[in-house]
Amino acid sequence: MMRSMIEVEVTKVKQITDVIREFTLSPMTGSLPGFSSGSHIQLHLPTSVRVLKKAYSLLSDPADTSSYRIAVRLQEHSKGGSRFMHERLSEGDHLHITPPANLFAPNSFARHHLMIAGGIGITPFLSYLAEFQRQSKSYELHYAYRGGVTDAYVTDLRQAFSAKLHTYDSNLEQRLDLDQLLSNQPVGTHVYVCGPERLRLAVQEAATKNAWSPSRIHWEAFAGAEPGQAFQVELARLNKTLEVSADESLLEALEASGVEIPNLCRGGVCGQCVTTYLEGEVEHRDAFLSQADQSQQLMPCVSRGRCGSRLVLDL
């Protein structure tokens, strides 16, 4: 079932760094649905080609439902989403968004919260910080960025949380030693990672090396689908054939042809969009399915058919 959409107005656009912009979204009337730290919303962006659906973390304080704030980094190889947000969206525009959903909530039993952010991956942690402060939780934030480019909010963070903030500017060759960091965390710590894939992999590697239980590691994939090669897909039960172009995801192609698939993260982590396939070779890019399941199922929000092979879905 598709969740009912909310219409909002862009009430403020603020340039945070050269490549990062913040948007304030306000309700047409009243207030917006409440949310918990780590929640995201989907924005429906009416680009010239099609309506793009993009998920963004809410960075505002969960206690404030008078508006939502999100920050968007202009991706160089943008499929149109971040480019649209940076170049076309301005104050006074109206948009449709989904109500917030949370796939990245802090663990409520944690005795210490260790947050690791890379660049724009700082956004969910801004909502964590508001909550941790309020509840006097034990926490620390490690923030790696490129100074002057992806160092969003670093000045504000320094002012408000200097004692708990550790920054690493790649321009100054400051390196975050994950092995050292994870070798020395008090029992009861949970670690949260948000940033580029290589940061997540590095945290996972350091965690494994230090014998961390996988249930202490939490991460958010905010990157969304990477483009790939164009391919063809057949919908066996609907008796339809679709062309998926290089810059759209399989999920987007299905939606464009009127096939609605439940989805939440659009980043291959939540498991909502799972679809069975009957034939063909798949380029699996999700972080949800086990290898065994991948022989029959795929996550169309990120995974694609291999170019040249005939992909047949059980739809």
Contacting residues toward ligand FES, per CB under 6 A:
263-266, 268-273, 286, 288, 299, 301
Contact between 17 and 145 under an 8 Å Cβ cutoff? The reply is no
The dihedrals phi and psi of 277, each to the nearest 5 degrees, come to -120, 155
Interacting partner of 211 out of ligand FES, another protein, none (Cβ under 5 to 8 A depending on kind): another protein
Binding of residue 210 to another protein (CB under 8 A)? yes
Q: Both tokens of residue 189?
A: 């710590």
Using CB under 8 A, pick the residue from 183, 241, 295, 296 that binds another protein.
183
Bridge partners for 107 per DSSP: none
**Separation of CA 49 from chain center:** 23
- Least Cβ distance, residue 251 to ligand FES (angstroms): 7
The 99-118 site mask, x for binding another protein (CB under 8 A), equals ----------xxx-------
**Residue whose CB is less far from another protein, 47 or 210:** 210
Interacting partner of 268 out of another protein, ligand FES, none (Cβ under 5 to 8 A depending on kind): ligand FES
**Residue whose CB is less far from another protein, 115 or 182:** 182
Give the number of C-alpha atoms closer than 13 A to the C-alpha of residue 76, restricted to the C-beta side: 1
Binding of residue 138 to another protein (CB under 8 A)? no
Q: What are the residues whose beta carbons fall under 8 Å from the beta carbon of 225, sequence distance 6 or more?
A: 79, 249, 251, 252, 266, 267, 268, 285, 301, 302
Applying CB under 8 A, the residues found at the interface with another protein are 109-111, 182-189, 210-213, 215-216
